[in-house]
Structures are given as C-alpha cells and as structure tokens.
Amino acid sequence: MNPTSTIACQPRRAAAAIFTTTNKRFPATWRTRTLIGCATCLFLVGSSSPIYAQQEQPSPGDAHAEEALSEQTSAEKLSATASQSNDEGSSSSVPFLGLIIKGGWLMLPIGVMSVIVVMIGIERMLGLRTARILPQALVDGLGEMANRDNFDPRLAYRLCQKYPSAAATVIRAMLLKVGRPLNEVEHSVAEACQVEADRLYTNVRTLNLAAAISPLLGLLGTVWGMIQSFFVTANLPLGSNKGQALAEGIYVALVTTFAGLAVAIPAAVLAHLFEGRILYLIREVEQLLGSLLPQIEKYEGKLRVDQQSLAHGNDPNLSHQHAESKAS
C-alpha cells in the first residue's frame, strides 16, 4: 500500500472509532438534540453577521444623507456666527468725541465756524421778524394817512419816529425830500433802501462765507491726515498689519471733511432762507413807499422841509406852506 494513502486513511479510522464510541456512550436522542442545537447556533451566527456588517458599513444613500446633514449643520453654525457678528457690529457705535479729538488742529477753526453759524442763525431769526422790519402799526398808520386828502408829512415823520425800523428809516429819507423834484425823491428812496438791505445782509454774508470755507478746511484736514497715514504705513516694520493701519488712518482723516460738511450745509440753508426773507421784506417796504409817493408828489415845488421842522412841527413857515399847498 502506498504510504500516502495510509496516512490519509488514518483520520477516517479515528473518526469512525470516535463515532462508534459515542454511539455506545450516548443514545440517538441526545445526538439528535446536539446536532439540532449546533445547527441552530450556526444559523443564528450566520444570520447576525450580515446585520452587524450592515450596521458597520452604511449604504451609499445613508452616507449622502449624513453628508447633507453635516453640511446643513455647518451652514446653520456659520449663519449663527454671522448674525452674532452683525449684532455685535450694530451694537457698536463710532466713538464720535474720540474722533473729534483725533481730527487734529484743523477741527478748531471748524468748531469756531460752527459756533458763528449758530449765533448768526439765532440773531438773524430774531432780527428779520416782521415787527422789527415792518411794524404793523406803522403800516396801518401810513396807510390811513395815504388815503386822506390832506397828507401831513410832519405826522408821518413822527409816526416813523414812534416805530423805529428799517421801513421807518427809508420813509424818513423820503419825507426829507418833500417838495423836491420826483427824480430826486426816488433817488433818495433807492439809496435808503440799498443801505437798509446791506445792513440786513451783513450777517448773511458771514453765513455764506462759513458755508464756503468750512468744507475747504475739512478737505485740507483730510489731505493732511492722508499724508500722515500713508507715511506711517510706509514706515511700519515688516510683518505689521499695514492694511489695518492704513484703514485706521484714513477714517480718522475723513473726520475733518465730515465736520466741515456738517457746518457748511446748515450755513448754506440758513443763508438761502434769510436771503429770501430779506427780499420779501424789501418788496413790502417798496409797496408801502409806492402808496405814499402820490401824496409826496403833491408838494413838489410847493414845500421845503428839514429834519428839525419835521421832527418838532413848530415851524410857522412850514405850517403856512402846508396850508397853501392844501388850498392849491
């Protein structure tokens, strides 16, 4: 016999011997139960291993779902972070007083201009009231005299002295030319109106000057601040954050421009309003003078007056001339 076949047959003989011995020791019922139990265990182990494998290795669909969920979670975190940063940015405010101090020495003349604009604005609002330029009592009194046939220049002059104003000044200048040629009267009235208009425009011109100079001062401060900012940025050491330094220098330099515009815009608006108010009042004064001019024409070449006779009214020659002019 071949030695190889002998060696291969030995395990079979051993197994047969073990089977025979087992049959002798254990009955058939126990063998059956043992085989059934082993088969059941093998079945359970074999059926559970795919479940574990399925749990350990998810399907491609589950992987995509988990990836989408992770992306959604990260997006929510980013949006929450952005909203938080926006809330912090909105809650923070620009340090206005600190920026004014950092604006430099050119903030001083701009501040002086702002004080001047406020003071002139208040003064002109009070000075351009109708009661100061054209009192209603003066208008009513002169209107009543203009409707009379016997207009007395002395009474009109006293009424103007009683209510001193810009209109009263112009009317007194006209009354002092009673009896003179009409061209001379009109020339005197025009000169008096121009003088009063210039007086009313005096402070308004200062507002126009402030509106013109304040932006230039702000621009000068900004240019100087930009020069300093670029110089400092260019001389920063290596590795420094030059962008942040440049941005800080620029926004500080722009403070003077903002301050100049903040002064110039209200000054320009006030100047425009006051100029319109002055033109309106001057037109009202001219209309009042126009209503008195026909009465003044009656005395052309018939009456000579001066300031003393009109103010006191005790000149007998003036009374006689006035009576003659009424009779004629």
* pLDDT, tens digit, 9 for 90 and up, residues 129-182: 988 898 999 988 888 888 877 778 888 888 888 898 999 999 988 888 888 888
Record the tokens describing residue 164, joined without a space: 């001193």
Q: What is the DSSP letter of 236?
A: P
CA atoms within 13 A on the CB side of 132: 11
Cα dihedral 153→198→181→287 (10° resolution): -60
Element (H or E) spanning 61, and its range?
Answer: helix 60-91
Of 9-23, 75-89, 135-149, which has the strongest mean pLDDT?
A: 135-149
Cα separation, 167 vs 291, whole angstroms: 13
Cα separation, 287 vs 292, whole angstroms: 9
Question: What pLDDT sits at residue 316?
Answer: 46
68 falls in which pLDDT band (50, 70, 90)? low
* pLDDT, tens digit, 9 for 90 and up, residues 227-242: 888 888 888 788 777 7
The SS3 assignment for 147 reads coil
The model's pTM is 0.62
Contact of 286 with 189, CB cutoff 8 Å: no
